[in-house]
Structure 1
């Protein structure tokens, strides 16, 4: 196909697709994704007008990873569901350059790109941030259409993405007469987790509709040991304590994702989509500590019996209108409202030395959020001039957009302690309300300088105002804004196999609202290793200048090698400081100087038959990432950013039989650990993590599938340490989470 035919088609797709990640749709049941330029999101077309301009040949050969100007990896639903995972975090751990913190199978691990978490990696759901209290662990892979991994920022998404962006796009493509039911069960040594899901979709004339529903239960009973040691100023041991944390609990939840789409004619569409998630959690625990040194006074409470319960509900509904204008222009506007409610209650009964309890504490808290948001974009393709002397004129995909929203948050916390003999009750009523207002506007252009060279330029301005009022502290009214110029380019070498990418970005990390509220969070056994915490209302955004470069080599069908390097220079770096407030230890976040992070990543994907003849149909994928960082305000060695993961790697093999009835594969992921210096007196240690997973899928017939998966075959224990050292002495606490293998069976039926 000639270039003159291919590129206009891609421009038309680009101006139609960029907001599809936020529930937009142009047409349902298109035969294949239409190509998109740069940051435009490739997805199934949804408007009849798109069918009039789509060239099937280009769509069939289009590869977002290879052809988009911006560096982007798209993981489709088949890849997402391959291992039968019950949590999206288990899917992400196998992707190149992404690591998930914590012990395998425990859930709640932090998702990281370039080894960085704590807000450096932006996690989006349908292009927007999830509210406080919502965990991606509650997202079942069955409700996900695709996962987009963006290594460099683009103007249409928030630039709160110093490490990068992971955008989780919920299912929205409607397939005619699709009715699928799945029942799954997972089992390990200390837990079990049954789940069920249904996907239902159909069409009635111009109206298409779908409904996805998932329900699950997770119950566990486990014991976690820890050990604490310490020395005094002279180096003489004065602390030696062994503790066990016994915890058993249950989590139940469900989510619903209904969607309606109307084809209004002339390519216009109106789409309504809602996502509802509800989760409950209850647990009972017991902490026991034994003292091994006579000189050790022991903790305030060597036995703490506790219970905890929480209820979290989140709902968001969006209305998306797409209006086709003249000359290929389009207006894409979305309006949404959301609500979130998180209520919890905890109870602790503490005693020491077998005596009567001296701690009887109950904490009840509730957080509610309501929000309104609007996003939109006006886009238009533009061709400057005509082809002259055999040279193709530059083609542009221009767009202007907005992103505004208001979120109101109310937070209440009640702490009540009974006046027991020998106790010192501390009762608190800690309430605050906050309003976060954001306004963002952006413009961007992507154009083809030549058939082999494309460029992307954008600029985004984001402004935030945070207003906080509450009991016991002065009102907070903080404003911040960041201007982010962005540039990316792709050059394809004449051999048609090799290409170069370059990106220059300005990104930032905004402080979390909870870290700005100037109130105390009280620790039961206050110590240097377990301090109280207080918010800092004067926190400023961290701002980073970034450089990304990569080389990609493509050979054969589905075969690719890539090498990339990145650099980020971060100003107003935020980290915790530890101090004494009277007789209690207190931790607080502050802005403190500059930090820098660097990284390299190698990746390979290819069918084994591209290398050897007469071998089985096996696909090979492998990657390795090496990261370095330095924090100027923290002395070395090991003064890494946010306990950055220094080395990670993945290797995977996938096989599909000739008839497609059997698919099987294995994946191994590695995450290095080591010591990281957090401040001049604090350090943390994480052990190495190795995950080995296998799966097999049998397609019994066209309607019935059975999937078997085993994860964490190595059942490796996971250890962490907290270390403290100053002129007064040292303290070290080590904790070990036992590894366990998980077995999963999934049965799928299509009607």
Structure 2
């Protein structure tokens, strides 16, 4: 209660301080005036026909920020933001299908530890772990991408691994128009078109930018699974051959409008819209060996995906009381109306035995509403910034399940309702903050406090009947400190200390019983989970190489508290309870005069939940290089290299391991060769991600990805037209997974296997031809 009163009092004090200054608007102005939008706008034809190789930006931010313009990625023709992020230091994707990049992971930590922002604003996503699937945003909508390695007081603190800010093109920064037209050919012969258009210029008394993008999204893969009784692989239990085709189309658009108001004010509004229509078709053929019987199954599956992401934001800045005041209002929404169905037709020794099917549909509506009021002003030789962030999240999701069982071979599939499960999570945040900063010729600093308060309400239902509800309040004080020393014009040292949080996953909070969620074990959520917190440090060194080049190295460390892991409640699962009752009845029938106390029973499955189990540590080193080879007499050759060593430590029910799904390392190396006399370029980039391991109750998985090679060749025609041919996945990389499966915790500890599975998938190379024309 005292913490809530503190937050409310601080919020009111900050708001009053700003409102009290409003009468001084007419007489107060800052020393620096906003530049004229038209004179600052970048010509879009320089995006279409790049006369120079683009390198990583060296920002003036005191906090550790890496910035990459679209031009840094564009020559390799990325389709989505996920394709762009693959080339950045410390970024991994574990769990994504081959040739897809959806849940981005910084520092190798799970996707929920990385905060994804669009234009600096929070956006809802598809993941139960609060992650945002970055492959939903087309690359053509992006101006630049920022990697925010550490948190600051004026940003949300739920970015334990760091944050990725996707900055979309805006009207203030660009001028002109261009078209993008292309075709992609996949290894199976499928050809898909892509189209994009952007225009920007003066309109409606200010500046307006509008862009649209339509691209077919296709990927075909083949997968093979072999299942054995144990890792010796002496006994093959079953195998499965599967083909999968994902075929769909993404529609996207963004708009930005900026206008100067009065002498010092500027109003801007921006919005984006992304719609994903995609059909996923799977066809599996399974063979299982059971004693002398051969069980054959044909398993067709179909998953239509219909998802929408959109958001709109408005910002107004103006001079006031010797400083600058800012009002921000934003709203973002994610809608999911997808479905999934799978049939299984089994034959024993060639004779039909059974047919069954399951289907589910999801209706999800996830919204984020935010309002920010902030004021920035001189404070002696420093600068003071203070403000309040209000944020409201509402996540409403309903799963409807269906089932069917055939009585004879060839019976038509007619689904019957098998119940619904729904949940509603509402979170309201009021986060006041205070930040001081100063900049000198050689030394810059930034220190701040952010007090995050969250009121969380959870309700879940089954078959439209409310089954339970819970509430939980979170309050956390997050200090941060950033220091930057410019030792010389070329050399820079930075140090950041900051506290951050990781909120529980949505499914970890919902107290609904899920039957057989982990092997034969049940799971129930825990709405009383505490947030994970981490005290972090980032220590970096950066050196400028000539006019464009930069090389940097950064050490990071996160000391994580209240780590959330799966635990055994000690209660039997529903299956174990049913087995107990059946076996007890049989025992009493066979042993007249005996009682329940005489019956001995060892349950083989339990009820799991999530709990705050202790502490963990995450640490590593990130190196990046981006430079022309001017010193070697090759100014038209650009090289790019980054390498990240990633490690962590956590103790679970078996012993010590890394954080789940953390790759040991990831590196990228590439080059671009410009041929000015031919108005042409070519280049290549190679990526390798280390193995990742995860261990939960009843299952352990190792994931390996093959090497990834991409190349391009480009020809420019004048100053307004370019044609590029690019190729991806030229090494036909595979994703290989090794599953160690157990019935229960005791068997896992004793290494008494239920099954050992090897799974591999491949998708083949792809080739893309793209033409850009500026006008």
**Smaller-chain TM-score bracket:** 0.7 to 0.9
Note the alpha carbon deviations across 1:418-462, whole angstroms, 9 max, x for none. 3644999982221222222122121111113x5312111011122
Match of 2:208 in 1: 209
How many Å separate the matches in 1 of 2:455 and 2:98? 38
The structural deviation recorded for 1:372 is 2.5
1:588 is displaced (CA, Å) by 4.5
Alignment check: 8 A CA contact 2:325 2:376 kept: yes
Alpha-carbon distance in structure 1 between the residues aligned to 2:489 and 2:174? 38
Greater RCO between the two (CA within 8 Å, min separation 6)? 2
List aligned pairs for 1:4-19, cutoff 5 A. Answer: none
* Structure-1 separation of matches of 2:289 and 2:726: 44
User: Is 2:655 the counterpart of 1:657?
Assistant: no
2:651 is matched with which residue? 632
User: Do residues 463 (structure 1) and 415 (structure 2) align?
Assistant: no
What is the alpha-carbon distance in structure 1 between the residues aligned to residue 537 and residue 686 of structure 2?
Answer: 30
- Displacement of 1:257 in angstroms is 1.0
The alignment status of 1:514 with 2:526, answered yes or no, reads no
**Structure 2 CA distance for partners of 1:239 and 1:515, relative to 1, 3 Å:** farther
Once the 2 structures are TM-superposed, how far is the Cα of residue 63 of structure 1 from its aligned partner? 9.5
**2:428: which partner in 1?**
437
Which deviates the most, 696-705 or 552-561?
Answer: 552-561
In structure 1, the partner of 2:387 is: 401
Distance in 2 of aligned mates of 1:723 and 1:78: 44
Q: Return the offset for 1:141.
A: 0.8
User: How far does the alpha carbon of each residue in 1:284-311 deviate from its partner, in whole angstroms, 9 at most, with x for none?
Assistant: 323322124527997xx94332222221
Residue 640 of structure 1 deviates from its aligned partner by 0.6
Query: What residue number does 2:588 align with?
Result: none
Task: Note the residue ranges of structure 1 that are not aligned, 5 or more in a row.
Answer: 1-11, 18-24, 34-61, 385-394
Match of 1:418 among 371, 391, 404: 404
Over 3 Å counting, the alpha-carbon distance change for 1:296 and 1:500 in structure 2 is farther
Deviation at 1:518, TM superposition (A): 2.4
Change (3 A) 1:503 1:177: closer
Q: Structure 2 matches for 1:144-543, cutoff 5 A? A: 144-174=142-172, 178-190=176-188, 192-204=191-203, 206-231=205-230, 240-292=237-289, 294=291, 302-327=297-322, 329-353=323-347, 355=352, 357-382=354-379, 384=380, 395-418=381-404, 420-421=406-407, 427-448=418-439, 450-472=440-462, 473-493=467-487, 495-520=488-513, 528=519, 534-543=524-533
Q: How much does 1:405 deviate?
A: 1.9
Correspondence for 2:584? none
- Residue 209 to residue 412, structure 1, CA distance change in 2 (3 Å): same
Aligned counterparts of 1:659 and 1:498: Cα–Cα separation in 2: 35
Counterpart in 1 of 2:728? Answer: 711
Partner of 2:40: 31
* Segment drifting more, 97-106 vs 68-77: 97-106
What SS does the aligned partner of 2:38 have?
coil
Post-superposition offset of 1:729: 2.8
Secondary structure, counterpart of 1:729 in structure 2? coil
- C-alpha separation in 2, matches of 1:318 and 1:628: 38
Alignment partners' CA distance in 1, 2:97 and 2:680: 27
Secondary structure of the corresponding residue to residue 364 of structure 2: strand
CA gap of 1:228–1:208, structure 2 versus 1, over 3 A, is same
Structure 2 unaligned regions, length at least 5: 1-27, 43-54, 127-131, 577-604, 742-747
The whole-number CA distance in structure 2 between the counterparts of 1:421 and 1:324 is 76
Distance 1:459 1:64, change over 3 A: farther
- Following superposition, the deviation at residue 490 of structure 1 comes to 1.0
Q: Distance in 2 between matches of 1:309 and 1:16?
A: 53
In 2, the alpha carbon distance for the partners of 1:97 and 1:668 equals: 15
1:31 Cα shift? 3.5
CA distance in 2, matches of 1:248, 1:707: 27
Distance in 1, matches of 2:353 and 2:39, equals 70
Instruction: Say whether residues 1:594 and 2:618 are aligned partners.
Output: no
State the SS of the aligned residue for 1:583: helix
Distance (Å, rounded) in 2 between the aligned partners of 1:687 and 1:576: 24
Q: Post-superposition shift, 1:403?
A: 1.7
Could you tell me which of 100, 108, 125 is aligned with 1:115? 108
CA drift of 1:688 comes to: 4.2
Q: How many residue pairs get matched?
A: 680
**Partners of 2:98 and 2:735 within 8 A in 1:** no
Q: Bigger radius of gyration, 1 or 2? A: 2
Specify the SS of the correspondent of 2:68: strand
Structure 1's 236 and 734: CA in aligned 2 closer, same or farther, altered over 3 A? closer
Aligned to 1:669: 687
2:592 matched to which residue of 1? none
In 2, are the aligned partners of 1:92 and 1:100 still within 8 Å (CA)? no
Residues 207 and 583 from structure 1, CA distance in 2 versus in 1: closer, same or farther, beyond 3 angstroms?
same
Do the aligned partners of residues 575 and 238 (structure 1) sit closer, same or farther apart at CA in structure 2, a change above 3 Å counting?
farther
Provide the secondary structure at the position in 2 that maps to 1:275: strand
CA deviations over 1:377-396 (Å, ceiling 9, x no partner): 211134x3xxxxxxxxxx32
Give the 3-state SS of the residue equivalent to 1:65 in structure 2: coil
Q: SS of the residue aligned with 1:90? A: helix
Shift of 1:89: 1.0
- Structure 2 equivalent of residue 623 of structure 1: 642
How far the C-alpha of 1:545 sits from its partner, in A, is 0.8
Measured in 1, the distance between the counterparts of 2:717 and 2:30 equals 39
Contact residue 180 and residue 749 of structure 1 kept, 8 A: yes
Structural RMSD (CA)? 3.2
CA displacement at 1:671 relative to structure 2: 0.9
Normalised to the residue count of structure 1, the TM-score between the two structures is: 0.83
Q: Report the counterpart of residue 562 of structure 2 in structure 1.
A: 572
1:741 is aligned to 2:734: no
How far apart, in 2, do the equivalents of 1:73 and 1:108 lie? 20
For 1:40, the equivalent position in structure 2 comes to: none
Tell me the alpha carbon deviations over residues 358-384 of structure 1, each in whole angstroms, 9 at most, x when there is no partner.
Answer: 4233322211234422123211134x3
CA–CA distance in 2 between the matches of 1:297 and 1:455?
A: 70
Give the 3 Å change call, closer, same or farther, for CA 26–321 of structure 1 in structure 2: farther
CA distance in 1, matches of 2:338, 2:680: 46
What is the rounded CA distance, in whole Å, between the counterparts of 1:516 and 1:166 in structure 2? 25
| Larger mean Cα displacement after TM superposition, 696-705 or 584-593 | 584-593
1:552 counterpart residue number: 542
CA distance in 1 between counterparts of 2:316 and 2:718 reads 40
Q: Matched residue of 2:71: which SS?
A: helix
- Supply the distance in 2 between the matched residues of 1:478 and 1:30 (Cα, whole angstroms): 51
Give distance in 2, aligned partners of 1:679 and 1:514. 16
Provide closer, same or farther for how the CA distance between residues 417 and 566 of structure 1 changes in structure 2, counting only shifts above 3 A.
same
